[in-house]
Amino acid sequence: MTDPIIIYEWDKKPLSEIAGGKEEEFSKKLKEYKQKSATSRAVIGYFDKRNIEVAEDCLRNNGNNVGIVKLDGEFSQIEFRPKLDNPKYSKEETASLFWNFLPRMLHTLENFDDFKKNIFIDPNQSVRLPKGFNFVFLFALSFVSLCAKAIKNGMLKKYVPKYERLKSIKGKINFSQLARSKSWDLSSLPCTYFDLTFDNAENQIILWCLYKLLRETRKIMGNNGSNGFFVLRKLREQLVLLSEEILLVPKSRADILSINFAGLPPYYLDLMNLCRAILTEKLFSFEEKDQYNVGTNFIIDMDWVFEQYMTHLFQIVIAENENYWKTFQAKSQSVQTLADRNNLKIKPDLVIYKLGKSGGQPKVVAVVDYKWKVSGAVKNADFYQVICYGLAHLQIGLLDKIEAALFSIADKSDGNFIFDFDRISKVFEGKKEIAILKLDLDPALMAKNEAEQIENGIKQKISQYFNRLLKNDRLSVDSPG
């Protein structure tokens, strides 16, 4: 099998290097695939909205798209990678480290409001996964989101045939069964009738896939703090909930192929497509192999992932340090009013509150916005966004200072993490101040051997930021406005 074509985020690759003289045919295949995925009921998400396109004789990845896509057997599969290469390591080594770290990030996600806008999966197109990488994390993440939607909208309830001996006739008498067993005893009659129930074939398939996912996810996550992962907890909750009404019985791919998909509501269709992939054994492989594991076409928006992952780490750092949890609270993406008439709403990635010394209501002391890109690519607009968040909170708070921090990945690191980028105080005549900070994550952190080491390194950097907040007297909530 040929090596994959590598394209990084916000990057391009000449069609001549991808198609090898068949550029026009490749462009046609990509266009057909985008059109097919836009109308197909067998895919999850929207490939046509991922801003992957052919322009100026190049295939362009115009976004924070990470994943693997194969159009057909004629062309090589395309691997969309994050632009986090470390010059100390080869591209292959860096990619391998990232693919092993990605599951760690995805298992912390909790906000699935725009799940299908940020993730695309095509269970019908197989791809070769990087060595040591499996599809369990993406199956689990997708299942939690889609199953939650099915539970919210109402699990499928159907009439299914029941064969029971009843004291009173409730259905059609089963004369063949009556003739075979105690035909002389008419005290009760075997009947065939239809009962409206949750325990139908579709729901049994969902429950079996849920059980299989939870069992295998536990094996993979091991003892690496798996109880703290939202996705694993949610899988467990969903299993307990569905088991109350649905019988757990083994299912196979043949069972799901017998389902009439035409009669299913749209939110159930996505879930059944996912179950079909889970019940396909070649895709549901979690063991470490010498050869490559098999997955399906997938694309993930890393900006969406990074925001939630960093919020999770900020909250974990607070929970693990007594000085922090006695002083701070961190809340993710709370909607705030910006304008007097409440017409403009803002939604910062993270808001940090400081508790009052007298036990009063916590007050906002900092807002943080995450950008999954190197600091060299950070533009003024990115700072405008976080400054806007700071202004909105400063006008309603009892503080004379607030910090607006932009968290991104550095081009290169000189050992510092926190940079005093600029400040706004003149417009307030020095009475109030917005401190604008850059929190530059060292890209070398991504070049550790283990996912846990990478995560611990990021948590240490976050602790540095909280230590700064602790020492900043002007951020006291008891100071006058």
Total tally of structural domains belonging to the chain: 4
Nearest-angstrom CA–CA distance, 458 and 75: 39
Residue 193 has pLDDT above 50, yes or no: yes
Determine, yes or no, domain membership for 310.
no
Q: pTM here?
A: 0.84
Residues 202, 192 within the same domain: no
Is there a single domain that holds both residue 28 and residue 167?
A: no
> In the predicted model, what is the mean pLDDT of residues 273-285?
83
Who's near 24: CB < 8 A, 6+ residues apart?
A: none
End-to-end CA, the chain? 66
Q: What is the pLDDT of residue 320?
A: 93
Give the phi and the psi of residue 375 in degrees, each rounded to 5.
-60, -25
Residues 62-76 have a mean pLDDT of: 90
Predicted pLDDT of residue 90 = 66
- Cα-trace Rg, the chain: 27
At 225, the pLDDT band (50, 70, 90 cuts) reads very low
Band of residue 446 on the pLDDT scale cut at 50, 70, 90 = low
Pair of tokens at residue 461? 């950097």
Co-location of 234 and 327 in the same domain: no
Last residue of a domain, one of 301, 336, 371: 301
Q: Which helix (H) or strand (E) holds 6?
A: strand 5-8
Give yes or no for a contact between 220 and 135, defined as CB atoms under 8 angstroms apart. Answer: no
- Mean pLDDT is highest, among 18-22, 93-97, 241-245, for 241-245
Domain assignment present for residue 115? The answer is yes
Most confident of 92-96, 108-112, 429-433, 467-471: 467-471
Please spell the DSSP secondary structure of 344-371, one letter per residue.
-EE--SEEEEE--TTS---EEEEEEEEE
pLDDT at 203: 95
* 256 vs 254: CA distance, rounded Å: 6
Query: Is the Cβ–Cβ distance between 467 and 433 less than 8 Å?
Result: no
Residues 331 and 423 in one domain: yes
Is pLDDT at 250 greater than 90 in this prediction? yes
Determine the Cα–Cα distance for residues 189 and 167; give it in Å rounded to an integer: 7
Q: Are residues 175 and 78 in the same domain?
A: no
pLDDT at 334: 63
206 domain-assigned? yes
Structural domain range at position 54: 1-131+287-301
Q: What is the pLDDT of residues 385-423, one digit of tens each?
A: 888 888 877 776 567 889 999 998 887 777 889 999 999
At 128-153, the pLDDT tens digits run: 888 767 788 888 889 999 999 999 98
| Whether the Cβ atoms of residue 393 and residue 351 lie closer than 8 Å to each other | yes
- Residue with the larger pLDDT of the pair 301 and 222: 301
63 with 51: CB under 8 angstroms? yes
pLDDT of res. 480: 41
β-sheet with 418-424: strand ranges across: 328-332, 350-354, 363-374, 401-409, 433-441, 418-424
Strands (E) across 256-393 are located at 294-301, 328-332, 336-337, 345-346, 350-354, 363-374
Q: Facing residues of 331 across strands?
A: 351
DSSP state of 44: B
* Structure confidence by residue, pLDDT tens digits, 109-118: 888 878 889 9
Do 236 and 372 lie in a common domain? no
pLDDT at 98: 82
Check whether 226 has a pLDDT greater than 60. no
Q: Are 18 and 78 in contact (CB under 8 A)?
A: yes
Co-location of 471 and 335 in the same domain? yes
Write the DSSP string, 16-38: HHHHSS-HHHHHHHHHHHHHHHH
Compute the average pLDDT of residues 191-201.
83
Domain match, 419 and 435 both: yes
Q: Of 223, 254, 283, which residue is a domain's last?
A: 283
Cα 143 from Cα 460, distance rounded (Å): 32
Instruction: Kindly report, residue by residue over 310-346, the tens digit of the pLDDT.
Output: 999 999 999 999 999 999 999 876 666 666 666 667 7
Strands 119-128 and 294-301, sheet pairing: antiparallel
The CATH number for 451's domain is: 3.40.1350
Distance CA 35, CA 386 (A): 37
* Whole-number percent of the chain with pLDDT over 70: 82
Are residue 292 and residue 255 in the same domain, yes or no? no
Coil, strand, or helix at residue 299?
strand
User: Can you give the pLDDT at residue 399?
Assistant: 72
pLDDT at 11 over 70: yes
459 within a domain of the structure (yes/no): yes
Name every residue whose Cβ is closer than 8 Å to that of residue 230 and which is 6 or more positions away in sequence: 107, 108, 109, 110, 312
| Residue 335: inside a domain | yes
Does residue 216 belong to any structural domain of this protein? Answer: yes
Shared domain for 337 and 380, answered yes or no, is: yes
**So what's the pLDDT on residue 210?**
95
Domain-located, residue 447: yes
Mean pLDDT of the chain: 83
Whether residue 372 is found in the same domain as residue 426: yes
481 pLDDT higher than 50: no
**Separation CA 291–CA 18 (nearest Å):** 24
The first and second tokens of residue 477, run together, are 């909530």
Tell the residue number behind the tokens 């322009």, with chain if given.
Answer: 55
DSSP secondary structure code for residue 219 in this structure: H
Same domain, 267 and 335: no
pLDDT reported for residue 352: 92
